[in-house]
Structure 1
């Protein structure tokens, strides 16, 4: 019987051991709930600060965004017909201005050059004979014309033979090779242009006409020189002009990048929202090795700039109906202020122009930020929490009215 009596006591002892951690959980939960119930509903306010009225340079800007592109792109094609005999570059290769890129068979072109030289020699010989024979002035004039024509044909033949070799017109990187050995090259056109943009500006030349045969090209883009292709709204485009300075914020680049407006488009495009927007090209200043084509960037175009403008921190300005005013600090030691009505002008960033009411050096109060949180602060909350812990961890020191569900402690403890 004694062993049976001990066995009956063990479950009760187990419940007692479980009761201690469960009570700890209840106390903590009650404390958190009490904080939510007892905290003040008034928002917390940071202490006010001060700002000094000063003369600054005030800028007005027009903002836009876009993507970087190479400043110059050269799409190069053969200007003579022939079969491609050599392709000397691959995409990614660095090339110099004038470097050979590809070549076509020049056998026919060399023969044409020889023929043109022979024609010139014959024309000169004929004129020499006629001059010796005392031929008429008309004959001498005809001989002179024949020599001029032969010289022109010879020069064209020389250019054609030189054109059998395709050379880069700029220094940069090969980005595309659209020809292979054995292809038929035609008398296409080679051109150098600014990177594709809405303004469609061409900075190079083109020659000849497109051949009926297959005509490929090799594309070379400039290295280290970039432009930003962006758009500005129709309401801002009248403020933007060629030559204005701009500051770019480029994705992945910590320091500011500077540039100049090089083109402003005259024909509107449609942006992603369906609104009219005008293309603007910004030429990035200097050689940049930390920029990459395709990178997104934001730009602020400086459309006006004034120096020595009296300004104040915009957060110091307050309103009373239609009147704008500030709290001017009259005694720094005591922190006393007086209301001063002011007149304002332009705003730039966090600065607002003051046209009357203040002078350089005046100190004004900047109201503190007001945000959510217990107005009683940490000290008040700690006091309430201390009272709760002294009373058993629950508001008022007593369990909820009616006790815990089931009439006792969790787990059936007594």
Structure 2
């Protein structure tokens, strides 16, 4: 009987083993199907060679800037008063000496009349002293003082009329009819932030730009530049540096220096206030040997390149000159046409390998083929009876 039981159990065990293998194979197939490419970041080194060339090496510095008039003036009344007339509008072109505005002259005229009366009285006193043959020095001093008073009062009357201090275009009118105008002692001064009326010569435009302190140290007068307009598509104009501010401007932690550039020609559509990009040539060498800057390795004061010939690479020390925007001048160590190596590194990233829920391969419910044979719960259990 035990032998019979053993023979009955062996087929059940064999069946369970086959089923376990089939389920394991299915789980492996599902794992491979669900999994993606292996995850990883690989650095692939790419090597290529470029020839040593001969040509012009150029170094530039750049900054953002704006357009402004090279000739401006602010016109303000010499005599304060109520504005009674404004003869111009923004955009009007005016000539030097043209009347721009007026204030009420009545108060100034009364002051002039009083000064003229004082002068007449002083002259009468001087005449009496002369007729009497007495000392006239005191009377003469009074006449001189009175004359100065008249001159001042007359200037006050003249100051009620505002005239253009230069020819140009009206760019701002900072007052209105009936408003009170304050007097200014510096009529037409370009240093004033604004006057009653501001003028600018729109035919003489210039560019101002703020350069980083490291770049500003490379700038000096008469350097060539190129100005590109942001609002005028494709508009570029040559220019020259005319001034570099001696004093820096600090905005938080950023230090810049103001630079003024004159335009060789005013392009059509250019107006004060427009934003521009400025590129100034700080160095240029014509007919120079050069290589792409990425080919030069610098350690301290030692510069090297890797030269390749017939598939053989050789590290060679070189002497460099001007470091341009894209290429570096080679003074010695290379000849035109030689091939130098540039190494670039690219990074590739793959996906994440998938795993079945629960990790690894899923097991059979109930533990696969239980010890003692049969399916979970005893398999065919009847053989044990």
- Give the TM-score band, short-chain normalised: 0.5 to 0.7
Q: Does 1:300 align with 2:284?
A: no
Specify which of 196, 200, 212 is matched with residue 221 of structure 1.
Answer: 200
Specify which of 153, 166, 173 is matched with residue 177 of structure 1.
Answer: 173
Retained in 2: the 8 A contact 1:44–1:371?
yes
RMSD between superposed Cα atoms in Å: 4.3
How many Å separate the matches in 2 of 1:316 and 1:44? 13
2:129 — aligned with what? 130
**Number of residue-to-residue matches in the alignment:** 297
| Structure 1 residues 240 and 145: alpha-carbon distance in aligned structure 2, compared to 1, 3 A threshold | farther
1:114-193, aligned counterparts within 5 Å?
114-136=113-135, 140-188=136-184
Deviation at 1:68, TM superposition (A): 1.8
How many Å separate the matches in 1 of 2:298 and 2:259? 44
How many Å separate the matches in 2 of 1:371 and 1:344? 25
How many Å separate the matches in 2 of 1:320 and 1:248? 31
How many Å separate the matches in 1 of 2:322 and 2:120? 78
1:266 — aligned with what? 247
| Structure 1 residues 126 and 313: alpha-carbon distance in aligned structure 2, compared to 1, 3 A threshold | farther
TM-score by length of 1: 0.57
**Secondary structure of residue in 2 paired with 1:67:** strand
Retained in 2: the 8 A contact 1:227–1:281?
no
Retained in 2: the 8 A contact 1:72–1:192?
no
Retained in 1: the 8 A contact 2:207–2:260?
yes
Deviation at 1:67, TM superposition (A): 1.9
Structure with greater contact order relative to length (CA < 8 Å, sep ≥ 6): 2
Structure (1 or 2) with the greater strand fraction: 2
TM-score by length of 2: 0.61
1:386 — aligned with what? none
2:255 — aligned with what? 277
| Structure 1 residues 158 and 248: alpha-carbon distance in aligned structure 2, compared to 1, 3 A threshold | farther
Q: Which runs of 5+ in 1 are unaligned?
A: 1-41, 195-201, 207-215, 373-414
The list of structure 1 runs, each at least 4 consecutive aligned residues, that deviate by more than 6 angstroms after superposition, is 42-46, 337-340, 366-372
Deviation at 1:342, TM superposition (A): 2.4
Deviation at 1:295, TM superposition (A): 1.8
How many Å separate the matches in 2 of 1:254 and 1:101? 35
Larger Rg: 2
2:235 — aligned with what? 254
1:4-403, aligned counterparts within 5 Å?
50=51, 52-53=53-54, 56=56, 59=59, 61-136=60-135, 140-188=136-184, 202=191, 217-240=196-219, 243=221, 245=223, 247-251=225-229, 252=232, 254-264=235-245, 266-270=247-251, 275-285=253-263, 288=266, 290=268, 291-302=270-281, 305=283, 310-314=288-292, 317=295, 324-325=304-305, 341-358=317-334, 362-365=336-339
Q: Which runs of 5+ in 2 are unaligned?
A: 1-43, 347-385
